[in-house]
Amino acid sequence: MSNKQINSKNINSSNTNNLLQKFSQVVQNFNKINIIEIEPTIKNIKNYIFDGDFNIVIDELVNLIFNEINKGDDTNVTKQQALDYINNQMITLQEIYIWLLNNQNNSNSICLLGYFNYHGIETKLNKQKAIELYQKSAVLENKLAQLNLANEHLYGKSVIKNYNLAFELSKKLAEDEYASGMNNLGFCYDTGTGTAFDEEKAFEFYQKAAELGNFKGMVNLGWCYYEGIGTNINEEKTFELYQKAVDLGSLYGISNLGWCYNKGIGTEINKQKAFELYQKAANLENDIAQYCLALMYEIGDGIEKDIDQAIYWYKKSAAQGHQSSKNKLKKICK
């Protein structure tokens, strides 16, 4: 990805702007943000921290979060990196949250307040309010807000989906050479979301995202090679891409690589290796890996059968919304 500031590019597509403006009517009464939730004021903040310092922290934090999401990093990993960054600045979460409430005067501070609400950082989790803030920031051309909105309308569960908006936002992010936009655009063509099905274009954009280092692009491209989506079936390429994603630190890649070893996709079957990879990803809160690990325990697939461990991991996975794990728990509990 080229070195760009989050707000450095304007969305110049009239279609995208029209969609954003139309969508913003839903939150048109949100222009004046109620910042009296807990009656915090700027006087609560240490007097040696100046507005300029906070502005720098906010801008750097938004860039950090965008860069992590842009490369396809796991949500929990990105959140932890954001929290670590704040801690390293010797600023408390309460201080930065209060400052955000009192300084909703630019797209980065609006977007970051949305991020805090979305993840329940120093406030109650409120995804609806977060999405309203993302929308307001996205209209102001904020790239992180636009990416978060696109992701929510493509993969989230907190909004009534607007697939046309998701497609247009992904298209513009892709045109600006952001890997996340290219991966999302590939997903749109792959699934016919907001546009017509086009396997060749799906493969093309997954490939571009992967070449720019996007973890999800690598995983999705690997799946294209496995299923023959827009290309010839090549299981060895599938394995190579998942291995590459793992080598670069992808949590998604760990789980998928475990699947390759478990089923012998592009490599020899190795149940022990599969178990180790599933366990590693499961401990890092990957719901799919938790399900796969539970399944191995349930049926004794290459390991000793252990129903208690199976139930434990099914519960962990189900708590994150994994439907197959929920179904398994109902069946086992009967």
113-122 CB burial, b ≥16 within 10 A, e <16: bbbbbbbebb
- pLDDT at position 104 is 95
- pLDDT at position 7 is 39
Q: How far apart are CA 134 and CA 232, in angstroms?
A: 39
- pLDDT at position 21 is 62
- pLDDT at position 147 is 97
- pLDDT at position 240 is 98
- Copy the structure tokens of residue 28: 């048109």
Total count of residues recorded for the chain: 334
- pLDDT at position 36 is 37
pTM (two decimals): 0.83
Q: Please give the share of the chain, as a percent, with pLDDT higher than 70.
A: 84
**Long-range contacts (CB closer than 8 Å, 24 or more residues apart) made by 37-45:** 37/101, 37/123, 40/97, 40/98, 40/101, 40/102, 41/98, 41/102, 42/98, 42/99, 42/102, 44/94, 44/95, 44/98, 45/95, 45/98, 45/99
- pLDDT at position 34 is 43
- pLDDT at position 53 is 83
- pLDDT at position 16 is 65
257-267 CB burial, b ≥16 within 10 A, e <16: bbbbbbeebbb
pLDDT tens digits, the chain, 334 residues: what are they? Answer: 333 333 333 334 456 666 666 555 544 444 444 433 434 444 444 443 556 688 999 999 999 999 999 999 888 889 999 999 999 988 899 999 999 999 999 999 999 999 999 999 999 999 999 999 999 999 999 999 999 999 999 998 878 899 999 999 999 999 999 999 999 999 999 999 999 999 999 999 999 999 999 999 999 999 999 999 999 999 999 999 999 999 998 888 999 999 999 999 999 999 999 999 999 999 988 999 999 999 999 999 999 999 999 999 999 999 988 999 999 999 988 7
- Cα-based distances in Å from 232 to 189, 227, 235, 256: 18, 8, 10, 20
Instruction: Report the Cα–Cα distance between both ends of the chain, in Å, rounded.
Output: 51
**Long-range contacts (CB closer than 8 Å, 24 or more residues apart) made by 108-111:** 108/6, 108/7, 108/58, 108/59, 108/62, 108/137, 108/142, 108/144, 109/58, 110/136, 110/137, 110/140, 110/142, 110/145, 111/62, 111/137, 111/142, 111/144, 111/145, 111/148
Q: How far apart are CA 317 and CA 107, in angstroms?
A: 35
Domains of the chain: 234-333 (1.25.40.10)
- Copy the structure tokens of residue 222: 């690997």
- pLDDT at position 28 is 46
- pLDDT at position 242 is 97
- pLDDT at position 76 is 85
- Copy the structure tokens of residue 285: 């809160």
Q: How far apart are CA 22 and CA 168, in angstroms?
A: 13
- Copy the structure tokens of residue 128: 């609806």
